[in-house]
Amino acid sequence: MATKLHFREHINKQLILFPERIDKDIAPDDPVRLVDAVVDGLDMNRIYSLYYERGASPYHPRMMLKVIIYGYMNNIYSCRKIEVALKRDVHFIWLAGYDQPDYKTINNFRNRVKEEIDNVFTQLVLILAERGLVSLDVEYIDGTKIESKANKYTFVWRKTVEKNRAKLMEKIGVLLSQIDDAIAQDNADSQEKVEFTPAQLGEICDELRQSLARAPEPACKQEKEALRKQEKEIKRLEQMGDKLSEYDGRLEQIGERNSMSKTDPDATFMRMKEDAMNNGQTKPGYNVQIATENQFITDFGLFHNPTDTLTLPTFLSSFRSRYGHMPDECCADSGYGSEENYRFMEEHSIEAFVKYNYFHKELRDAFTSDPFRTGNLHYNAHGDYFVCPMGQHMTRVGSRKSRTASGYVSDLAVYRAQRCRGCPLRGSCHKGGQDNREIVVNHRLDGYRRKARERLTSEKGLTHRSRRPIEPEAVFGQMKFNMAYRRFRHFGQDKVTMDFAFLAIAFNIKKWAAKTAKSA
């Protein structure tokens, strides 16, 4: 006898489809509950002050903040996709309490709080410190370059603009000398002393047009042709003034940088690590600096400079503005090991576990046993001279100064040997074209490097060196590959900073939830 087939009853058009509590199917340890609790505990007064008392009642800022942060935690960065999730995903529906703001409202909220979201990030880090997840005493610092949304072919180079501007100035001088008018001739004679501005050219054009208007009507064909020629020259001068204004505007936007993008003027062209063509192509982007502790992001900053060396003093100062004090210890790679950075950390009582160039080479026997290397020459501080491998004194013959891109000035001392001609070690010791060997020494930087080497080779230094690769570098790896955050989705540094602040908040809450689940 055949058995009758039975199915569970399926009625999807019933009046009550969802349970009485929408979070019935949400696990107690789900990260969405942590997002809800964290945002409920934040001080939102500064965000409330961004709203007006009159008008229609807006969506609650806590709800908007919750759904955006949870979207970033789940690699949902598009406002349109968050709008869809608010209608389909039970986690978003529970967070929003059935509110369904559209994508424009979500995007407007992000833009509204772009000046205050950084404060929300700081509050979250202070909560992590209260829970003992971070101490805010040590910073592991590193940087990476993230591509801008701008088109990679919209580049503007400073040198090119300056070159074209100089050519334009020459053309303006030539044109003014060709215009048969006393006003133009006077300005052409003074062009060697005073550089023209767009406003000056506009005034010259106005005076020339007034001069033409006062002139009598042309009586013959030649006079008419001369009038048309003058009008064309004035029009051409106006076009040159507009072009000069464009060049001046470009230079003002570029500032101290070497390049910019037309579609995102705040982005600078840099060489990215993700180079698909492997040809060193530059792309518009930002240099993102982060500080981490226990793989939590404790500070971040976006810089135009592609090198990490020049970012450290400003970045450490931002840490103090957030938390009211400098970190006790700082650990970074050799990209930050400059005299300016060592001096800044020493003046602010920061114990620097920062490598420098040739740090790892100096630990090798082949490097330390080389008697001809400048660092291995004996230095007599009292007599201020070096001793070469043959035993003769290399006395100080002068000093120099070097200036970095940030304006920091270093003092360099120059030492020269007395008699290198005929020395049996000359071939190994002195390969320069001069008769006597000459060395340039930065005594202050050498002192900082000795202190850094002592710290880095100590027991604490070995601990920091082993932790540094799994701190900021691991965070960058999780951001770029696990969270698929490889490119910014906004134009302008203010909006890009806002977007990264949301990501940093989401990352920290996601890390907090993972650590809580692991320890449970």
- Tens digit of each residue's pLDDT (9 = 90 or more) over 185-220: 555 555 454 577 888 888 888 888 887 777 777 778
- The candidate with the shortest Cα–Cα distance to 451, out of 317, 346, 362, is 346
State the pLDDT at residue 217. 79
Tokens 């979250």 found at = 124
Contacts of 359 (CB under 8 A, 6+ apart): 334, 337, 452, 453, 456
pLDDT digits (tens, 9 = 90+) for 406-462: 888 999 999 988 888 778 777 778 776 677 888 888 989 989 999 999 999 999 999
- Pairing of the two strands 329-332 and 268-271: unpaired
> What one-character-per-residue DSSP string does 75-87 give?
T---HHHHHHHHH
Rounded average pLDDT over 484-513: 94
State the pLDDT at residue 392. 84
State the pLDDT at residue 307. 87
State the pLDDT at residue 275. 62
State the pLDDT at residue 191. 44
Q: For all residues of the chain together, what is the average pLDDT? A: 87
Instruction: Give the residue with greater pLDDT, 511 vs 408.
Output: 511
- Pairing of the two strands 155-157 and 138-147: unpaired
CATH 1.20.58 in the chain is located at 156-261
- Decide: helix, strand or coil at residue 9: coil
- Band of the pLDDT at 315, cuts 50, 70, 90? very high
CA distance linking residue 214 with residue 204, whole number of Å = 15
- Residue 349 pLDDT greater than 90, yes or no: yes
Report residue 210 as tokens. 């007034």
Residues 176 and 208: beta-carbon distance below 8 Å: no
In 169-315 the beta strands, taken as DSSP E runs, fall at 259-261, 268-271, 282-293, 296-303
Q: Any idea which of 69-83, 188-202, 489-503 has the lowest mean pLDDT?
A: 188-202
CA distance linking residue 88 with residue 510, whole number of Å = 22
Q: How many residues does the chain have?
A: 520
Instruction: Give the residue with greater pLDDT, 440 vs 176.
Output: 440
Stated as kind and residue range, the H or E segment containing 228 is: helix 221-254
- Residue 389 pLDDT greater than 60, yes or no: yes
- Residue 184 pLDDT greater than 60, yes or no: no
pLDDT digits (tens, 9 = 90+) for 247-301: 999 999 888 888 999 999 999 998 887 665 566 688 899 999 999 999 999 999 9
Contacts of 128 (CB under 8 A, 6+ apart): 134, 296, 508, 512
Q: Any idea which of 2-16, 97-111, 250-264, 276-290 has the lowest mean pLDDT?
A: 2-16
In the 8-state DSSP scheme, what is residue 179? S
State the pLDDT at residue 273. 73
User: What's phi and psi for 186, nearest 5 deg?
Assistant: -65, -40
- The candidate with the shortest Cα–Cα distance to 64, out of 49, 44, 34, is 44
How far, CA to CA in Å, does 119 sit from each of 295, 360, 513?
A: 20, 40, 21
CA distance linking residue 481 with residue 213, whole number of Å = 69
pLDDT over 90, % of the chain: 47
Tokens 């048969």 found at = 180
- Band of the pLDDT at 121, cuts 50, 70, 90? very high
What architecture is domain 156-261?
Up-down Bundle (1.20)
Instruction: Give the residue with greater pLDDT, 15 vs 504.
Output: 504
Contacts of 240 (CB under 8 A, 6+ apart): 168, 171, 172, 175, 201
- Determine the distance from the C-alpha atom of residue 488 to the mean position of all C-alpha atoms in its chain, rounded to a whole number: 12
* Number of helices and strands in the chain (H, E): 20, 13
CATH 3.30.420 in the chain is located at 141-145+268-359+457-516
Instruction: Give the residue with greater pLDDT, 118 vs 27.
Output: 118
- Residue 101 pLDDT greater than 50, yes or no: yes
- Residue 503 pLDDT greater than 50, yes or no: yes
pLDDT digits (tens, 9 = 90+) for 78-94: 999 999 999 999 999 99
Residues 394 and 403: beta-carbon distance below 8 Å: no
State the pLDDT at residue 119. 95
Tell me which of 3.30.420, 3.40.50, 3.40.630, 2.60.290 is the CATH number of domain 141-145+268-359+457-516.
3.30.420
- Residue 128 corresponds to which amino acid? L
